[in-house]
Amino acid sequence: MVAFSGAVLVAIAIVTCLGMAWVLGANSNSPPFAPAIGANAISTMQAAFVVGVLAAAGALTQGGSISRTIGAGLIDGVTITPLAAIAGLLTAATFMGIGIYTRYPVPAAFATTGAIVGVGLSLGGDPAFDTYRRLGTFWVLVPIMSGGLAYLTATILRRDDVPETVSVPLLAGVVGVIVANVRLGVIPDPEATQGTLARFLARQFGGGPALVGGVETGVVVVTAGFGALSYYWIRRRVRVSVEKGIRSFVVVLGGIVAFSSGGSQVGLATGPLEHLFRVELGLPSIALLSLGATGILAGAWMASPRLLQATSREYAQLGVRRSIAALVPGFIIAQLAIALGIPISVNNIILSGVIGSGLAAGSAGVSRRKIGVTVTFWLLTLGTSTLVGFGLYRLLAATIGG
């Protein structure tokens, strides 16, 4: 056995975390901007730059909840050591590589969750069944929620009695309302670890009396203001030119989904190092999230243009309206998952949305065979990554110690 010092294992774990974040930045945050490229609303290189910045910003401000779930919520009774983190991240990255090679989307959330459960069991930990039930329930509901919301959105956009000068701005207003209440780690809140823009701005003016459920009047007013401003801005653009207005909305949607994707994906890379950074090294969470955000930014800038070009051709065939119908649920569900601390794959949400929007047009627009193979890949990923993570940790522990 070749013994590695603790410092060497820590260094390798950090490099592995950066590598995993790089892969996530290159592959998991690009699809949200593909519709805008397909509609010629933004160039590929501009999109790659914006994707990197927004995904990194989302990682810094929203990544903490899922990072904690991956790092401490999947296994009871043990903590993830640097060697276990290395084994888990290598396993997850390998499965993602297989997905890239075979061109079937292997969800990073499934691969990482399975891998960390595997290494945790190999460490002697106990299964966290309550967490598994919560994750499983949410994952099962994702296709239903995403497909249903996309179907509803696409149906509204296709209605002849609802002009696009009304329907598109209404969707923008809904998005604005949600943005006002997105939880961000950089916003202070005395009653929560993450604050919202609506609550923060309302508190600057006293908050106002509480309504039903304890919601302050000021929060409702600020939320309504965000919705109204979003509606007004997109409506002005749509009234000047329907196509240009819709393209503007697609760019904005791509931006906020990329931001949400960064917040939901970074924890898959940083989660295994939670105990190392917060307890052993005594560093604040922002230090670990900064590491993940750096990897995501580098991956997006260095490798996403090629993927953006490929996926934009697919979205160009879908059209901007179906793309909007797929992206709106992607944003809503990603933010819900972040609030609940549940690891998800934004790509899977968008795929379900594409199918739902296609059903509204009379055809899902996606190969049934590919859907079946994709779902099979998801299930195999979750189970097999658990076994591989278990075995890889045992192998590394026997080979290099730690």
Instruction: Find how far residue 328's CA is from the centre of its chain.
Output: 13
* pLDDT greater than 90 at residue 30: no
Least confident of 172-186, 200-214, 279-293: 200-214
According to the model, what pLDDT value does residue 362 have? 65
The predicted-structure confidence for 223-259, as pLDDT tens digits, reads as follows 999 999 999 999 999 999 988 889 899 899 989 999 9
According to the model, what pLDDT value does residue 361 have? 65
Q: Minimal CA–CA distance to 394: which of 124, 173, 19, 188?
A: 124
The predicted-structure confidence for 54-63, as pLDDT tens digits, reads as follows 999 999 999 9
Least confident of 165-174, 277-286, 317-326: 317-326
Of residues 150 and 366, the one with the higher pLDDT is: 150
With cut-offs at 50, 70 and 90, classify the pLDDT of residue 214. low
The predicted-structure confidence for 179-213, as pLDDT tens digits, reads as follows 999 988 888 776 666 788 888 888 887 766 766 66
* pLDDT greater than 60 at residue 28: yes
The predicted-structure confidence for 87-97, as pLDDT tens digits, reads as follows 999 999 888 87
- Single-letter amino acid code for the residue at 291: L
What share of the chain in percent tops pLDDT 90? Answer: 46
Show the 3-state SS of the chain: CCCCCHHHHHHHHHHHHHHHHHHHHHHCCCHHHHHHHHCCCCCHHHHHHHHHHHHHHHHHHHCHHHHHHHHHHCEECCCCCHHHHHHHHHHHHHHHHHHHHHCCCCCHHHHHHHHHHHHHHHCCCEECHHHHHHHHHHHHHHHHHHHHHHHHHHHHHHCCCCCHHHHHHHHHHHHHHHHHCCEECCCCCCCCCCEEHHHHHHHCCCCCCECHHHCEHHHHHHHHHHHHHHHHHHHHHHHHCHHHHHHHHHHHHHHHHHHHHHHHHHHHHHHHHHHHHHHHCCCCHHHHHHHHHHHHHHHHHHHHHHHHHHHHHHHHHHCHHHHHHHHHHHHHHHHHHHHHCCCCCHHHHHHHHHHHHHHHCCCCCCCHHHHHHHHHHHHHHHHHHHHHHHHHHHHHHHHHCC
With cut-offs at 50, 70 and 90, classify the pLDDT of residue 370. low
According to the model, what pLDDT value does residue 228 have? 96
On whether the CB atoms of residues 32 and 253 are closer than 8 A, the answer is yes
According to the model, what pLDDT value does residue 193 have? 66
Q: What pTM was computed for the model?
A: 0.90
Least confident of 116-125, 151-160, 388-397: 151-160
